[in-house]
Structure 1
């Protein structure tokens, strides 16, 4: 089944809240080779004016996953995971993600286009805090290969 061209403009409800835990911040920082004390040492983060550990900017992909699960699970989308290549990722932050945040992510498909028999799907995931304030927008580009 090809990617449904009617996906463009489709939004999904916010994914269940994601609670940012200190140990997850540390683990992610280690995984991306971040040596920043802000991501490892609570006292260093507090001395810098943060309430807790500061996640690396790309940590937003962890929060974004719940929203992506909705798109990938949408049978009407026509996106088969085995044909997906993640082509690009961008982040626009209002503020850093910190341990203790409770975040929600809502995804909207912002573009669909065909390129060489493949389909490029662009989606924006808006991540908000418990007060509804914007934290980060993650923009992703997926290439979905043509049916074999």
Structure 2
């Protein structure tokens, strides 16, 4: 089954709140070789005006992944995980993610472009804090191959 073109414009339910933990930020920073002290040392982050350690910019992917799981589990999507490559990722921040943030994400499929038997599925995850204020928009492009559908 090809990727369902009716996914375009589909909004998914907001994710459960994700509480950003200090140790998760530190672990992520180590994993991506983000060595600036603001990512691991609360005092360094506070000296810059933040309440706690600041997550590296790509940390938003941790929260966005919850939304992509919704898309991939959609029964009528036509997307088979084994045929998916994460082709592109972009972030548009209003403010950095900081330990202690409680974040919720809501996914919208914004486009599908077919290339032969393949499809490029673009989605935006709007990530907001507990007050409902925008933190970051995470945009992903998934390349869905033909494979064994």
Is the structural similarity TM-score above 0.5? yes
How does 1:1-148 map onto structure 2 within 5 Å?
1-148=1-148
- Tell me how many residue pairs correspond in the alignment: 148
Please give the alpha-carbon distance, in whole angstroms, between the structure 1 residues aligned to 2:80 and 2:22.
Answer: 34
Q: Once the 2 structures are TM-superposed, how far is the Cα of residue 113 of structure 1 from its aligned partner?
A: 1.1
Q: Once the 2 structures are TM-superposed, how far is the Cα of residue 147 of structure 1 from its aligned partner?
A: 3.9
Across the aligned residues of Structure 1 and Structure 2, the Cα RMSD in angstroms comes to: 0.7
Please give the alpha-carbon distance, in whole angstroms, between the structure 2 residues aligned to 1:113 and 1:44.
Answer: 44
Q: Deviations over 1:105-142 (max 9, x none)?
A: 10000001101220110000000000000000001000
Q: Once the 2 structures are TM-superposed, how far is the Cα of residue 2 of structure 1 from its aligned partner?
A: 1.3
**Superposition misfits of 4+ residues, deviation over 3 angstroms:** none
Q: Deviations over 1:18-60 (max 9, x none)?
A: 0000000000000000101000100010011000000000000
Please give the alpha-carbon distance, in whole angstroms, between the structure 1 residues aligned to 2:71 and 2:26.
Answer: 28
* Unaligned stretches of 5+ residues in structure 2: none
Please give the alpha-carbon distance, in whole angstroms, between the structure 1 residues aligned to 2:141 and 2:66.
Answer: 17
